[in-house]
Structure 1
Amino acid sequence: MSTPTVSDSIALLYCQHHGWLQGWLRRKLNCTQQAADLAQDTFVRLLAKPEPQLLREPRAYLTTVARGLVINHWRRQALEQAWLEELAARPEVSSPSPEERRLILETLEEIARLLDGLPPRVREIFLRSQLEGQTYPVIAEQLGISVNVVQKAMLRATAHCYRALYA
């Protein structure tokens, strides 16, 4: 008899908990297809781990991974909805092609991922500066803070993005 492999362990985990996880996700998302997709993605994440560990509480672990995937799903939906609203407000002549839309959504998703983990104020300062083109003094005045605080927030946000991209 051979020793069980990591993939054998994950296969057993899948058989024992996939139905439960998919039901949990279906209740969270109110969508059977999205629940099925995210349940699969949860197990793919387990397979992709360099050294999967033995799980003492598999449902708690699966819930944690799946919850992160749900949050990413909702974030992507919010980005797509905001982008679609922006497109609807544009004249037809300036509407991007389907390929351009896909690239823009991917870029927005990447920006959201890069800024994930920043405190809300630091994120807001960064977005006002980089997306809206506001100067540090304007940001400071609008938020009721000093220019020095804006500079420190920008430094923190830039360092965070650099680490997310290159570390």
Structure 2
Amino acid sequence: ADAHHITAPSPGGVGAINCMRTAIADAGLVPSDVTYVNAHGTSTPLNDAAEAAAIAEVFGDTPPAVTSFKGVTGHALGGAGSLEAVGIVLGMQKGAIPPTAGYENVDPEMAPIDIVVGEAREWTPAPVLSNSFGFGGHNGCIVIGPPPA
């Protein structure tokens, strides 16, 4: 938890950066092993900007594909992470990363990340990082999937 604010993420995504790095290290991986990030992706200006900055910081020159399920499912609050984990596993079964539904206008102020838009992207399943960032700075990230090839 970063406890920056009851609803706003920490500026620059510091809490998210720490959470993502910890999850990747706990899985015995390095950032370049992760090929896909399931973003918390609430479609709110503060959250999306902070999360994009955090993803750009963690992955640097090896940007993974990024998508979010919330455009399809809505925000399931406490159940969001579990619901999204099911979506990730379904993507592994299909060999595809789903697009971010409803994402059309790129915010020019947002850090450049590889957001999957329009249609699903073919994908050979590999480690996925799934982000869940909650109110009050309660951050959770999990790595799901097969080991890197």
Taking structure 2 as the reference length, what is the TM-score of the superposition? Answer: 0.25
**Greater RCO (CA < 8 Å, at least 6 residues apart):** 2
Q: Whose helix proportion is higher, 1 or 2? A: 1
Q: Whose strand proportion is higher, 1 or 2? A: 2
- Which has the greater radius of gyration? 1
